[in-house]
Structures are given as structure tokens and as C-alpha cells.
Amino acid sequence: MESLVEEELQLDGAQVTATLRYSGALQWHGTTKQGSLVVQDDVIGIKRGELSIILYTFCMSSKSTICGGFTRKRRRKDLRLSFANDASQQLWFESIQVFLDEAGRPRKLLVIVNPFGGQGAGKTIFVQIVEPMLQAARIAYAMKETLFQGHAKDLAKSFDLSQFDGIVCVSGDGVLVEILNGLLERVDWKHAIRKPLGIIPAGTGNGMAKSVLHHAGEFFDIASATFLIIRGQKHALDVATVVQGQVRFHSLLMLSWGLVADVDFESEKFRWMGAFRFDVQTLIRIVNLRRYNGGFSYLPVAGSEGTGGPYSSELEVNKLLHSGEADSERSWRKGYSGPLHSLPTAEWRSMEGAFVLVWLTNVPFTSEKVMPAPLAKFSDGLLDLIVLRDCSRWKLFCLLFKLQSGSHVKSKSIEYLKVKAFRLSPGGQYASDKPGGYVDLDGEILARGQGSFGDASNDPMVYGPTIEVSVQQGLATLFCPS
């Protein structure tokens, strides 16, 4: 491949022949040093020195593990290229800078930090890791800390977004979802939702960050997540809209009912444990296994009909009978109201009975180590539905261990379906006079049954009446390679 510039120079004090090609590939070889990188993919930024330039690199490398395997992750290293004269330095600096400028990297970002999420390390993560990398990349930023639940949503609704090239969350998934809903409630939502969203893991679950890094083939850590944002590549992202009566929310991650929702909310008493709280509460819930009565309907893609029977009008009647309970004293929000798809009733399927869990996901991972939907895509216009009716405690324990690899979907106990839309009518516990039950949306309580943990009076939706979910393909944008 033809070279843009080639020259004898010093790299970290060693004499080498360096070649910069039109593709952005930088190669060097000498008696003691040889190597290569791609400027657009491996360089954070560049700085000019005295007859030298410094490349702030973040290149992929392999490292052996205790088990005899290899871990591929990026590692930070600064390379100093030294030149014989000013003309050579100028030529190399400008040539490398052009590749960075033409890569579509952001110039200014709005960074929203949650100092309370996870174990309260958001501000430290920003100061120690994120901020130095943004500075090395010469990306300007305005940083705001969230002060209360819902603050990120307020910021997204009120900020003048014209001065930013994207919005970055240093947080868990909750703040990202708040920002999404804030953007979609703006009068100018059609313009606002085009702003790319970036996520740097600083929460308990971090499902979106894990999904993005997994998609990009990157190691899951804070620096790698930051570098994806710096690189500026973009990927469309589906947005789900969840409606009950006149109450609606927009979702990026998941909706769950049954075991997963139980674990999510009932583990709050162990929050001091960090992510380990989910493991503890899962074991507790397996020992005291619950199933919930209820029903749901779904609009499958061809070949993903599952065991659901033809659509039952009873579910629709139930929805119409009870929707008024959620409608009182509510009004439609301004902004994006949800997809306007035509969803023919004849193609819907339904399931009723008792269920261990029902899990609807938009992305592969719901936390760093949980991949319920290995076939989920960011912008296929579909949601992935995971259903478990019943199984033994031991089998359930084994299935949950397989969630990290996604191999649980091969079990005959699991139904894994691709759907265009979904309706849930949750009920109380099976073979029990206890109502209970939760509906979980992106880690927040959407509705809870009478007798469940916590106060249901402030829940945004009512437990029992039908909750509807539809999806808009590629509505939002992520900082993520295609």
C-alpha cells in the first residue's frame, strides 16, 4: 500500500524507519523496535513537543491468564517520535492530525456524572480515568453531577444541545434511560434524539456499557468505554415505548416480570455489596421459588411463534376493563409519543398460566455478567423475549449459571423468541393467596402488586392492567462502531 510519508526517525530513543500509509496505518521497524497501529483506531490524541510529537496510544494487546488462556484488552502507552528538523515534525504532526480530524470524533461533550450510583465511585472514575483521556484527545466538555433521581432527565430536557456533539453518562443504566426520556420529551425531540449517547460504566448493572463493548470486541473496562466515545463511531439503537393508559416511558434495556424483577428490587437491602447483591438475592429466591399467574401476548417474527396459542381477545378485554385505573389524572406528555406501526391482531400469539420469569430485552446484556439475549441486535427493530414457565430449583440454578455465556437459551425449558411488540397482564403468586409481584423497567419499578416490598403508591403504573411495549427501529444513536 502506498505510503503518505516515510522517514528515518527516533521512536522512544531508538532509531527506526517509520511509515504512515494513506489508510492511517503507522508502521515502524528498526534493530530493537518494530510495531504498528492504526491512527484512527489506536490513538487517543497527539501533542507537539520540541522537534518531537507524542502519540497517546491505546492499543490492543494480549496477556496470558492464570488458566492458560489470553485476555485481549487495550493498554495505554505514550510514544515519542523525534525528528531531525522542524519541517519533518510539522509534516508528521499535520498528517497524523488529519486522520484524527476526519474520523468524525466529537469536539465537545456534555458529561453527566452520577456520584451516587453503584458504590458511589462515579466522580472518582471521571476525575481519574475519563477526564485525562478526554484531555489527551483534546475534546472539550461540560460536566454536570446529578443531585437527585430524575435530575439527568431534567438536564436532558433543558440543556442547549446545539453546543455539544454528544451526551456521555458516567453512571449505570438508570441515568442513560433518564437522559433518553428527557430527550424524547423535548419539543425539539426529533433533533435532540439524534445526539449520540455514550455510556461509561459506573453503576451496579452496567448492561448497556457491556453490550456496547461486547459488540465492539473490546474488553469491559472504563478506559475502553471512554475510548469508544473518543473514536466517535456511531451506531443506531432501537427504542422501546412502554404504555399503560396515558402513562408512558421509553426504554433502552429491558422489561422483566417474575424472578428477575424479584431479585432486582428485593436485593436493595444488600446494595452495600455492589453487584454481588444480585447473586445473594438470586440464591434466596431460588430456595423460595415463586411462580406468578398471568398472561401476555406478542407479535412474533416469522419462525419465532413459540408455543403461544392464537391471540386471545380476553387479554385485550382485560386491558380495556382496567386501563382507566392508570388513566386517572394523567395527561399525554409532549414530545415523542411512540411508534405508529400497524400491528395486525391476527398475527399475535398469547400465553397464559404460571411463569417463573418473563424477560423482554433490547440489547444482549442486562449487566456485566448476564447475557439473557445473545441474539439481540442494537437496531433490528425487534425485542428478544425469554420465557420460563417452570423447572426444578437445581435446573434453574444451572440455567442461571449459563446466563454469562448466553447458553441458557439452548435449554428446552427456555423459550427464546424475536418479537415486534408485547403486552403483559401480570398477576399474583401461583398457588398462594399472596398477590405480590413486580414489573421492572430498566432497573426501576414500573408497578408492583399489593403486598410486595416497598410502597406502591408512587409507582408510575398499576400492577394487573395490561402494559404494552412497542419498538421503534434505530430511533436513538450510540457512540459505538457499526
How many whole angstroms separate alpha carbon 256 and alpha carbon 7? 59
Q: How far apart are CA 93 and CA 46, in angstroms?
A: 8
Report how far residue 274's alpha carbon sits from residue 5's, in angstroms, rounded to the nearest whole number.
51
Q: How many residues does the chain have?
A: 482
Of the candidates 173, 262, 384, 440, the residue annotated as catalytic is: 173
State the virtual CA torsion across 215, 216, 217, 221 in degrees, nearest 10. -100
**Strand, coil or helix: what is 3?**
strand
Q: What is the 3-state secondary structure (H, E, C) of 348-398?
A: CEEEEEEECEEEEECCCCCECCECCCCCCCCCCCCEEEEEECCCCHHHHHH
CB contact at 8 A, 445 and 454: yes
Q: Tell me if 182 sits within 8 A of 152, measured CB to CB.
A: yes
Our answer to whether residue 327 is catalytic in this structure is: no
Give the three-class secondary structure for 106. coil
- Helices 173-184 and 151-158, packing angle to 10 deg: 40
Distances from the Cα of 163 to the Cαs of 100, 155, 160, in angstroms?
Answer: 20, 14, 7
**Other Cβ atoms within 10 Å of 61 Cβ, number:** 11
- Per the CB < 8 A criterion, the answer to whether 216 and 208 are in contact is no
* CA angle, 247 then 252 then 254, to 5°: 85
Catalytic residues: 173
